Homo-oligomer: A and B are copies of this chain.
Amino acid sequence: MAQQHLDPRNSTAVAADALAGYLRAQATEFLRALRTHRETGGGAAGGAEESTDAALALRRSARRISGTLHTFRPLLDADWSESLHPELAWLSGTLGREHAYAARLDRLVAALNRLSGAAAALPSQAGAPVGGRTAGAERAGPSGPGGTGTRAPATPDRGNLTIGAAKAGALLDRQLTLARTRAHSAALQALGSSRFHAVADSVAVLASEVPLTPTAAALDLRPLAAAAHDRLRDAVAGLPLLTAGHPYNAEALIHGLSPDTAPHPQDAPWHQVRLLLRLHRYALEVLHPQAVPVDVRLLAAGEALNRHRDASEAASAAAAAARTPRIAPATAYALGVLHADQRHEVEAARFAFQQSWQKETVSTS
């Protein structure tokens, strides 16, 4: 079904009405999530899980509105669009951080367990609690920490670990839980700020009236969606896919020990493709609001890029933890193994993307 949707040029003309309808629907979702967030106490004890879900839903709508303003800019009132766009980016960035730190800790703890041959212990290792209950509870199994109110075992099971791995886990737990707690506070503060209230007011207006340009009604959305698709294709064409498609090319760990502590520059083009793929997906949602879920291979490519981003950031977190002063050599060793393991994951994600993208282009060309 979704096959012909991949290239926006393949569909019939889509009028500006579809854009207005999509933006109204997303604005409505945004307001609903905001209401839920307020009703569940905004992260206070007793409602943290629903509140976290609501914050993620808020972010989901903010990203879609933001991406749509970007792709279909010529059809929208320029002043309005240009003032709202950066505010939505700020909001989704602020709301996403807590979840990202929790997921990063989960990923690193899972890797430490796997590297210690304790993979069976994984399902109960989801995130540590912030604000009463654990934001990671939805990922935990029946025996997980959700709802108990006690501290979740975010550090690996020491019985199966060397002291180095156990200490590395404890260090990462400390650092990432601290970062997560700060992100949680920052998100709560942001949601109470006058800056956020201005965004919410703009979105409330959008829910009833989308500020289209006077000529928008006569325009076809497809060329703009196609341009978003072209930007994605061009960016993908710039990726080293030939190398990525060759298993065990050992590219991702190059510079693994370089003195540069900045994020890997080789990852940046992949992160950029990830963003462009998301914009393409949102443009398809505008054009084909009924075509949910979108093409599974597009989702697979997006998931590979998410995994790439997650592994890249987890590898950086392990490297950063290794620069903590006065750690034991065994801890540093475990963090080195962990860093390399996550860079290996980065390489695996590139391979997975290359495989799904290849299928993509073969079947749509």
Binding site for B on A (CB under 8 A): 112, 114-117, 119, 160-162, 164-165, 247-248, 250, 253-259, 322, 327-341, 344-345, 347-348, 351
Contact of A334 among B164, B336, B348 (CB under 8 A): B336
* B259 near A161: Cβ-Cβ < 8 Å: yes
Q: In the complex, which residues of chain B have a beta carbon less than 8 angstroms from the beta carbon of A165? A: 257
Determine how close the nearest CB of chain B comes to the CB of A159; give it in whole angstroms.
10
Which single residue of chain B is at the shortest CB-CB distance from A344?
B344
CB-CB under 8 A from A117, the residues of chain B are 254-255, 258
Task: Known A329-B331, A330-B332, A333-B335; judge A115-B254 contact (CB<8 A).
Answer: yes
Most buried by B among A117, A119, A336, A348: A336
Interface majority SS (helix, strand, loop, mixed), chain A: helix
Q: List 29 A-B contacts (CB under 8 A).
A: A115-B253, A116-B258, A117-B254, A117-B258, A161-B257, A162-B258, A165-B257, A247-B348, A248-B248, A248-B347, A248-B348, A248-B351, A250-B341, A256-B337, A257-B334, A322-B329, A322-B330, A329-B332, A332-B332, A332-B333, A332-B336, A333-B333, A333-B335, A333-B336, A336-B338, A337-B337, A337-B340, A339-B340, A340-B341
Would you call A336 and B340 a contact (CB within 8 A)?
yes
The residue that A336 contacts in the complex, of B116, B336, B348, B351, with Cβ under 8 A, is B336
Residues of chain B lying within 8 A (CB to CB) of residue A259: 161-162
Given A115-B254, A253-B344, A327-B329 in contact, is the A337-B334 Cβ separation under 8 Å?
no
What is the CA–CA distance of A255 and B119 in the complex, to the nearest angstrom? 10
Chain B residue at minimum C-beta to C-beta distance from A164: B257
Q: How far is the CA of A351 from the CA of B333 in the complex (A)?
A: 27
Residues of B within 8 A of A331 (CB): 329
Q: CA A258 – CA B118 in complex, angstroms?
A: 9
With both chains docked as a complex, state the minimum distance between the C-beta of A356 and any C-beta of chain B, in angstroms.
Answer: 14
Given B255, B329, B341, which contacts A116 in the complex, CB threshold below 8 Å? B255
Q: How far is the CA of A104 from the CA of B255 in the complex (A)?
A: 21
- Across the interface, name the chain B residue whose C-beta is closest to A348: B248
Chain B nearest CB, measured from A198 CB (Å): 46
Min CB gap A96→B, angstroms: 27
Chain B residues with Cβ under 8 A from A333's Cβ? 322, 332-333, 335-336, 339
